[in-house]
A and B are shown apart, each in its own frame.
Chain A
Amino acid sequence: MTLPQTLFDKLWSAHVVETLPDGAAILFIDRHLVHEVTSPQAFEGLRSAGRRVRRPDCTLAVADHNVPTSKGRVGAEADSVLQLKTLEDNVAAFGVPYIPINDPRQGIVHVIGPELGVSLPGMTIVCGDSHTSTHGALGALAFGIGTSEVEHVLATQTLIQSKPRSMRITVKGRLAKGVSAKDLALHIIAEIGTAGGTGCVIEYAGEAVRGLDMAGRMTLCNMSIEAGARAGLVAPDEITFAYLEGRPMAPQGAAFEEAVAYWRTLPSDPGARFDREVVVAAADVAPMVTWGTSPEAAAPINGGVPNIVSPDEERALEYMALRPGQSLAGAPVDVVFIGSCTNGRIEDIREVARVAQGRTVAEGVRALVVPGSGLVKAQAEAEGLDRILLEAGFEWREAGCSMCLGMNPDRLTPGQRCASTSNRNFEGRQGPGGRTHLMSPAMAAAAAVTGRITDVRELC
């Protein structure tokens, strides 16, 4: 009898092409998502070595990081225009499927992968972006890679990888009302630390995780990298299959049934052994807000900045213009950013609209809502959410990474304080000198309408 296997073990062994003498594996890659920022040097490498893209039919390119989200996509700097053109030239030269910037399916690579059915359970999925962990929500082994590895996958459709360790985080019980997947992610990172998952693939399990919809599972897996993990995973189940059925690039009809039959074999076997187990009580999770410059510096909204901090944290507090022991509720914000691969899906925008309905954005606050994809935008508009948001005084923008990363024109200016649904509160992440507080979409919406960091539960 074979030993019980984890979901991760099954995904791994199904993709080993060859085991090398030192134990590392040549791992086959089913899906390679390519964007404009981390690919130019990889294509250049192929070109100079005279190599081709081995499997264009496993590759999909889109521009997301370095594109304006303004109406008409105006305002790009010359080097951004060149970077986008370089991607377009490269996909044409190497025959890679590409979703152009003006295509309604364009969007953040980690939003469109699942949305189009490109990302599927049982696959290995890579992209030159650390938040590739998002796709693990489908029960796929998905992780971020550097540009040398992008070139490696383009040339060989494989990667050389040593098998990471496994960790299971079991979330017992159910999340309380007003508490979201983002709060759970921040709670977990605060608990295990920003390097707590280093060298590991995390499988999220337990009642609270099973109870999340696909958007919530994607938010949770997305933030795995902020705990240092290689990847996050949620076992595929009926919620996964229902989400995928009918997606344009997923298998259709009988092929879909065949796929589901295979996907049902993937969840971890009873008794499967993990290298590390962590148990979290869902009842302990409250709406979370970060106070420092690392995602682990997060506290419940009814808590605050710790009284005693390390020298690194002291420096972070100086950057954030906060004091030890200070309450987070009530801190005034200048900007609210709702979007990103963490929280730019239709479910997130519905949450924001629910809070915004009948309210207005506080005076002096700039509030941006940036759909994760053109299809998310169209869906929101079909539901009338854009009207609610525009009437409340939010900006309703085109799809892209926007203010998550301080690269395209959407940036904070020095000293601005931002309530953000993105994933990183690093120094300067949203623009030089910008101060980021990570939180859920509902909490960010509450900050927008009150002008201060606010417990959204008080508005419901």
Chain B
Amino acid sequence: MEAFTTLTAVAAPLPAANIDTDKIIPARFLKTIKRSGLGAHLFDGLRYTQDGAERPDFVLNQPAYRQAEILIAHENFGCGSSREHAAWALLDFGIRCVIAPSFADIFHGNALKNGILPIALPRAVCDALMQDAAMGDNARISVDLERQVVIRPSGETISFALDPMRRHFLLNGLDDIGQTLQHATSIAAFEEKRASDKPWWPPIPEL
């Protein structure tokens, strides 16, 4: 995973609640066996007409937002399916940070594991950032994970909260598996105790 430290970028406003992961990446694009290449289908239904032409009114089709690296949205971003393809599609398009009043749990975890920073801020703050984002290429929003602040184009700083462990992993680009395997002895001890305490616990047989 690529580390996330600071980011200064154009932000795209997406003023809708409950943006679900089917909207972010429809299921018919989940047939891939790779993580890459999904950016072309990010927000496919919103971004393209049914014959594949770009919808000029969709924010990411507008010249100012084609290079956006931040998204600003309303409540419950990323609800629905657990598909990590949603995070991969955002990342492949170039989005490194999503700011919204709230996130669905699974998406939130998936984003963090892919170096995308989900920032939860109150609705009023998101609305103010949405206005900044509406300035398009004329405005840049900055995010500093070390200091845990969002910096508006006006220079105003807004603090945000993030789980300390997740922050540490993101700042250093650490992958969870390597960290967990440092606890392999505890896992083995747990497994042994499980086997002796609950001998009836059935293994799944070879089929």
Interface residues, chain A, with chain B CB atoms under 8 Å away: 17-18, 20, 22, 24, 26, 28, 30-31, 37-38, 40-41, 44, 49, 51, 54-60, 65-66, 77, 79-80, 82-83, 86, 97-99, 103, 117-118, 120, 128-130, 144-149, 151-152, 155-158, 160, 162, 164, 194-195, 198-199, 225, 228, 230, 249-251, 255-256, 258-259, 262, 294, 312, 315, 405-407, 411, 414, 424, 426-429, 432-433
Contacts and interface: CB of A to CB of B under 8 A. Distances in A.
Contact of B82 (A83, A128, A151): A128
A149 B207 CA distance: 25
B31 A428 contact: no
A228 B165 contact: no
Contacts of A147: 84, 110
Contact of A17 (B16, B31, B34, B187): B187
Contacts of A225: 80
Interface stretch (B64-72, B101-109, B133-141): B101-109
A194 B18 contact: yes
A97 B204 contact: yes
B198 interface: yes
Nearest to B111: A146
A249 B200 CA distance: 11
Given A82-B33, A83-B31, A148-B113, A432 B26 contact: yes
Contacts of A22: 163-165
Contact of A251 (B27, B105, B200, B207): B200
Nearest to A310: B17
B2 to A, nearest CB: 14
B155 interface: no
Given A66-B31, A156-B181, A407-B27, A17 B186 contact: yes
B165 A432 contact: no
Given A198-B102, A312-B18, A58 B204 contact: yes
B205 A406 contact: no
B161 interface: no
Interface of B: 16-18, 20, 22-23, 26-28, 30-35, 45, 50, 74-76, 79-84, 87, 102, 104-106, 109-110, 113-114, 163-165, 176-177, 179-181, 183-184, 186-187, 190-191, 194, 198-207
Contacts of B194: 28
A193 to B, nearest CB: 9
Given A155-B177, A228-B79, A312-B16, A97 B205 contact: yes
B26 A146 contact: no
Contacts of A82: 31, 33
B176 A152 contact: yes
Contacts of A18: 183, 186
